[in-house]
């Protein structure tokens, strides 16, 4: 008898879980909202980066750069990336302003 009760409880639990299941669209929206929530409040950061470029022949070249990011309240972020090496790209910079409600500026 206890085994029968356990099986009934497990089946009921399974039905409850199915009722609470999200559609793929609902799950995707929940993930996007959570990612947006977590992407605020960092204020600013800076980083040193290294990029390794490899062509189809296996030849490699390396780019060194640094970046600074500033969070803008009620909008997107301001990002500055400056290449430090090699010499042919040294000083090249990309300034990007992301926006929540309009296209980004670069």
CA distance 43 to 63: 27
Structure confidence at residue 70 (pLDDT): 93
Structure confidence at residue 73 (pLDDT): 83
Q: 3-state class of 72 per DSSP? A: coil
Instruction: Tell whether the model's pLDDT for residue 4 goes beyond 80.
Output: no
Q: What is the pLDDT of residues 46-67, one digit of tens each?
A: 999 999 999 999 999 999 999 9
Q: 3-state class of 81 per DSSP? A: strand
CA distance 96 to 79: 5
Is the model more confident about 85 or about 14?
85
């Amino acid at each position: 008898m206890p085994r029968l009760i356990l099986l009934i409880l497990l089946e009921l639990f399974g039905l409850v879980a199915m009722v609470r299941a999200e559609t793929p669209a609902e799950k995707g929206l929940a993930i996007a909202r959570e990612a947006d929530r977590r992407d605020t409040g960092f204020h600013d950061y800076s980083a040193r980066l290294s990029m390794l470029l490899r062509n189809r022949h296996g030849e490699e070249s390396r780019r060194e750069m640094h970046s600074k990011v500033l969070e803008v309240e009620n909008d997107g972020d301001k990002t500055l990336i400056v290449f430090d090496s090699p010499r042919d790209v040294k000083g090249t910079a990309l300034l990007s302003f992301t926006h929540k409600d309009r296209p980004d500026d670069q």
